[in-house]
Amino acid sequence: MSLELCVLASGSAGNCSVLRTGSGALLIDAGLGPRATGRRLLGTGVDLSELRAILLTHPDADHFNPTWFPAARHFKVPIYCAANHVPTLRRLAARRGFHPLKPLLVAFKSSPFQLLPSLTCHPLRLAHDRRGSQAFLLDTGRHRLGYATDFGHVPPALINLFTGVDLLAIESNYDPRMELASNRPWSLKQRIMGRAGHLSNPDALSAVRAILDETGRRLGPNHRPHHIVLLHRSRHCNCPVLLRRLFTQDQRIAPILTLAHQDERTEWLGLPGRAPLVGEQLCLFHGENSA
């Protein structure tokens, strides 16, 4: 089963990625409206009418645009979100006079669930503001994508979940020195840099290295991601040159690094064939070896 990722937009003005598998295409977050998403999709080979699902990390305005409610109903695209975010989405829908939400809205909890045929989603709640954000391991049985954004610190469970992924997409939001030197209010700086805020460049690098180290330990030195994508870069408190310089110090990361952008999409990040995990290896991705 194939798996390809294209980040259409990533940043505080809107986050949206398209995932294409043999079972169909879906959006991870929908922070761009349907029209803007349609424009970004031009040339990708995916059309709005082909989407099979929208999967939300959380419903903040830069991750979900409420104009998707009527569009999702028109295209018959279910919106998947964590159960604790359902009240927020209901309030957003009510403000726009959009109802009922069922069966458009599909709530999930902490257990893995079937997102598309031959695509299983393993969610993990992360600390972000009051209600948190969701990281996802998306598994076709042959390929695995780890996707995590908007979280203030890296729990051990995230390293365990993303061990062995073929494609890793993770937030690297801000440079600490640039954040502290910015003219943002101190309260905002505290929120962003807190344990329930956003992930700094050094913390993101430490997380990526920990995932690579654990993957090598469990599965061997040749089992590494084919792509590492850095998400949600701050326009004002980060720098792509600085970010690339930091991450490419690790020669395991340098040749497979992609920086996502706010104003332009990435190329399709595809994966070559790889044999499915079996036996003891498979247990690593179902929690049996969790610390």
Percentage of the residues of the chain whose pLDDT score is greater than 90 = 89
274, pLDDT greater than 70: no
277, pLDDT greater than 80: no
Query: What are 217-266's pLDDT values in tens digits?
Result: 999 988 999 999 999 999 999 999 999 999 999 999 999 999 999 999 99
Mean pLDDT on 152-158: 98
Residue 115: per-residue pLDDT: 97
139, pLDDT greater than 70: yes
Query: What are 54-68's pLDDT values in tens digits?
Result: 999 999 999 999 999
Mean pLDDT on 183-207: 98
Strand ranges (E), the chain = 3-9, 16-21, 24-30, 51-55, 79-82, 105-108, 113-116, 119-126, 133-139, 144-148, 167-171, 227-231, 257-259, 269-270
174 touches 237 (CB < 8 A): yes
Mean pLDDT on 265-271: 95
285, pLDDT greater than 50: no
- CA angle 176–177–178, rounded 5-degree value: 95
Which of 29-43, 171-185, 241-255, 271-285 has the least mean pLDDT? 271-285
Residue 152: per-residue pLDDT: 96
Domain ranges of the chain: 3-271
Residue 168: per-residue pLDDT: 98
281, pLDDT greater than 80: no
Residue 2: per-residue pLDDT: 87
**Nearest Cα to 143, choosing from 114, 161, 167?**
167
Query: What are 5-45's pLDDT values in tens digits?
Result: 999 999 999 999 999 999 999 999 999 999 999 999 999 99
Overall fold of domain 3-271: Metallo-beta-lactamase; Chain A (3.60.15)
DSSP string of 163-181, one letter each residue: TT-SEEEEE--B-HHHHHH
**Cα 197 versus chain centre, distance:** 16
Residue 1: per-residue pLDDT: 67
pTM value is 0.93
What mean pLDDT value characterizes the chain? 93
Q: How confident is the model at residue 102 (pLDDT cuts 50, 70, 90)?
A: confident
